[in-house]
Structure 1
């Protein structure tokens, strides 16, 4: 069993001493397989996120609205089935759920190049593939977040999440360019096939994860809605999870508002080329990568809880530089500010997920993660809607100011909670 037992329980909001050095999670064979499975899955997803809409555009002559519908259906799965996915993940062992999700997504995406080659492909089929693939992603992601504490032990969560989120950030930086090159080389339908192969490889690698998952509790199991409500009550009533949820929702709201409207400002007002806009936004990906890389060191030096709000307070003024973007010097200052703001996002991604996994009992991990995914995805949807509304009423700078203000305040929920004094990750 590749699991290190967690330290003795303590109060989730009591200060604790500085964390002692822990072995690297990569010393665990099971974590190496889990990391590799995540790597090929995320890499394939980066290709698919570009290739699937390109299939609709190039092969099916889809309109802008139809491409938007395709993208919406993928995200909609988190809102439609997210809470119920958490219940079923808690009712089942996690690794088989991840393998089943990988195989299902591989079959769905594998159909696209086959149907295109045979002349059967329609937009309706693509929409079904997008929705069902999104459902598979819900189950895979919730199960993966719930399996990690069992694989590495709770005291190594910070290092494990730093490695996983660091790779995700690297994919965010390099993935679109690599995906574009692959699409150009083999055409969009066969690039979708590469995504399917990535999911197959992920399923094979997950077979190498050896962890003794406890049998899911059957006593007290009730109706699905009752179990969804139990998970929501646990999150809402927990002194660690509640401020973490509020912080994450505020961050997602701000990030979505900025990323939706910033290209409009850069292109329509400043006249930048698409290449320059991509370069500007790529700086954000670099910021996330660096934040994920340095999150563990910052937590060890400042304390996990203190890092979240002290770093946020220090970075807050940088967010307010974004709406001031103009040609010349202010353009480069805004690009640098965007990289600094997203550095904080990278740190948060590692520390906040580690907080969540550390304090949640095994039997509630699936529902906790699903509750977070639902709220965080909902914040993205609200951010998109608010951006459109404010943009129509007051112009594109208004949602840019609103998003920047939200990003400048993400530290407040942590500073106003008992988490502000924590040095080490809490235990449940």
Structure 2
């Protein structure tokens, strides 16, 4: 359980009467200073991530001439730390009383690593090995940051507002995706891809600054000496809801990362899109994400939390069928990709908001980082497998056939949920259904 008093001030702040004027349009959680600082720091960091999501692959393709297999390995490098460190990082984080400070240090470390790319480029010493090393190092710090983020989120957000909080953070991600890729594509054309990465380095500094300005009451440190490394995995194995959620999200991650590892190469060398057009396509997809995050709460109220999750597992990958189908004149190709990115953006937000709320409600505070570390080991660990598999398969059968295979595989993710209790989950209120720890999860 959280420390006494951790959430009560937030409840009072968000329940207070709303002032007239623009304040009435501001979501309740954003009127709470601590959550607003957390949310703003996240927005800045995610915007920078979107710059790097287009700049680093373009650096690999344009500056160091990476092929399909090398692009797969580059994408995998940032996710491999989940295999090696996520379990141990979760145990370590649960033993820390000040996880926010760890997140600040991780932000500053990532800023320094990303900044080495434009520096090496300016010194004419940039290599593919350097990009691999930066991707792996930044991925390692991301693991540490994220296992600490879940306890911080639940310290800032009362349990009754988890869906709202996840919708706001999901919308945050979508808003960054609206502007990030488009501006990233323009910066790449104007400055070169390596120099555009300076924006990502600065974003981590901004995130650290906003985190340093909040000081919520975090869950207490766990000092148990034995069995901690496997405790998160055992919790997931005993929970039919979280076990099914992990199967679904890991499957969709495996196959969609086959697509993402090849998308820049496919768009630039096969469809012949310029960096500016590529950025516009990715930015348009983020508009769908913004819409999906905005309506996720309403969807949950209408059809239930579990069915929203199930719907997202289908609505996220289904529009990607248009990606390998894209061919013909450039306007037609762009139209296919815009619809694919927009539709997937809507679906992934429904999925993310639903599963994020389920995990926030279903995991006790004392196990939160360990469960998240175990979950992340499998869920995010599937991403480098998908990236490497996508690159290898593309080298064997071609890029377009690989994209068809990947989309078909991603569409199977919902099958994990059908025999589980997930489709019957309605909301996050207390009910007879409980997690293995005895803590209430969701009502049916």
Q: Which bracket does the TM-score occupy, shorter chain normalised?
A: 0.7 to 0.9
Q: Distance in 2 between matches of 1:144 and 1:381?
A: 22
What is the match of residue 359 of structure 2?
Answer: 356
Deviation (angstroms), 1:334? 7.1
In the alignment, structure 2 segments of 5+ residues that lack a partner are 12-26, 430-439
**Higher RCO (C-alpha under 8 Å, 6+ residues apart):** 1
What is the match of residue 400 of structure 1?
Answer: 403
Task: Indicate how the Cα distance of structure 1 residues 276 and 48 shifts in structure 2: closer, same or farther if over 3 A, else same.
Answer: closer
Residue by residue over 1:345-404, the C-alpha shift from the partner in whole angstroms, topping out at 9 and shown as x without a partner, is: 111011111111111111211122222222222222222343345445554454333322
Q: Distance in 2 between matches of 1:114 and 1:393?
A: 36
Deviation (angstroms), 1:138? 1.4
Contact 1:244–1:352 (Cα < 8 Å) also in 2: yes
Root-mean-square deviation (Å): 3.7
1:383 to 378, 383, 386: 386
Matching of residue 100 in structure 1 with residue 127 in structure 2 = no
Secondary structure of the residue aligned to 1:197 is helix
In the alignment, structure 1 segments of 5+ residues that lack a partner are 8-22
Contact 1:246–1:413 (Cα < 8 Å) also in 2: yes
Deviation (angstroms), 1:32? 0.4
Residue by residue over 1:54-93, the C-alpha shift from the partner in whole angstroms, topping out at 9 and shown as x without a partner, is: 77788xx634267776554333323322222111111113
Contact 2:255–2:406 (Cα < 8 Å) also in 1: yes
What is the match of residue 89 of structure 2?
Answer: 85
What is the match of residue 163 of structure 2?
Answer: 158
Contact 2:114–2:201 (Cα < 8 Å) also in 1: yes
What is the match of residue 13 of structure 1?
Answer: none
Contact 2:115–2:201 (Cα < 8 Å) also in 1: yes
Secondary structure of the residue aligned to 2:390 is helix
How high is the TM-score relative to the length of structure 2? 0.77
What is the match of residue 213 of structure 1?
Answer: 218
Secondary structure of the residue aligned to 2:413 is coil
Contact 2:94–2:366 (Cα < 8 Å) also in 1: yes
Contact 1:143–1:366 (Cα < 8 Å) also in 2: yes
Task: Indicate how the Cα distance of structure 1 residues 201 and 251 shifts in structure 2: closer, same or farther if over 3 A, else same.
Answer: same
Query: How many corresponding residue pairs?
Result: 405
Task: Indicate how the Cα distance of structure 1 residues 73 and 379 shifts in structure 2: closer, same or farther if over 3 A, else same.
Answer: closer
Residue by residue over 1:140-161, the C-alpha shift from the partner in whole angstroms, topping out at 9 and shown as x without a partner, is: 1221123101111222111111
Secondary structure of the residue aligned to 1:415 is coil
Deviation (angstroms), 1:256? 2.1
Per mean C-alpha deviation after superposition, the further-off stretch among 64-73 and 379-388 is 64-73
1:27 to 10, 24, 31: 31
What is the match of residue 298 of structure 1?
Answer: 299
Task: Indicate how the Cα distance of structure 1 residues 83 and 120 shifts in structure 2: closer, same or farther if over 3 A, else same.
Answer: farther
What is the match of residue 10 of structure 1?
Answer: none
Contact 2:121–2:194 (Cα < 8 Å) also in 1: yes
Q: Distance in 1 between matches of 2:103 and 2:316?
A: 37
Contact 2:358–2:428 (Cα < 8 Å) also in 1: yes
Q: Distance in 2 between matches of 1:413 and 1:384?
A: 22
What is the match of residue 273 of structure 1?
Answer: 273
Matching of residue 240 in structure 1 with residue 241 in structure 2 = yes
Q: Distance in 2 between matches of 1:172 and 1:108?
A: 22
Matching of residue 73 in structure 1 with residue 77 in structure 2 = yes
Q: Distance in 1 between matches of 2:150 and 2:409?
A: 26
What is the match of residue 229 of structure 2?
Answer: 228
What is the match of residue 145 of structure 2?
Answer: 140
Per mean C-alpha deviation after superposition, the further-off stretch among 165-174 and 357-366 is 165-174
Contact 2:181–2:283 (Cα < 8 Å) also in 1: no
Matching of residue 131 in structure 1 with residue 133 in structure 2 = no
